[in-house]
Amino acid sequence: MVRPADPPRAARIAFWDPAGGAPPTGLGEPGDLTVVLPDGADGVRPRTVPARWLPVSAALPLLVRAATAPGA
């Protein structure tokens, strides 16, 4: 999830665990994020999950490394 800003370099990116666990500590700011997840056989619903919010400058190196990680 990206939270846009003006100027764009002030934007923030949220990292969260789709399995429902807490994101790692020590990086970024803790916060919450509302996402839409499956609910039942044929429905979805919004849920609030814990997240870590990072500025774009801190998130970009993580995203680049993740793209080349095995199993990513």
Reported as a single tens digit per residue, the pLDDT across 22-31 is 888 888 999 9
The rounded distance, in Å, linking the Cα atoms of 5 and 1 is 13
Is residue 29 situated within a structural domain?
yes
| Model pTM score | 0.76
- SS3 for 24? coil
Could you give the strand order of the β-sheet that contains 29-39, starting from the edge strand earlier in sequence?
Answer: 2-3, 12-15, 43-55, 29-39
Strands 29-39 and 12-15: unpaired
| Number of compact structural domains in the chain | 1
Does 61 reside within a domain?
yes
Q: Does some domain include residue 49? A: yes
CA 16/CA 23 separation, integer angstroms = 6
pLDDT in tens, 34-49: 999 888 888 999 999 9
Q: Flag whether 72 is in a domain.
A: no
Domain limits for position 35: 2-67
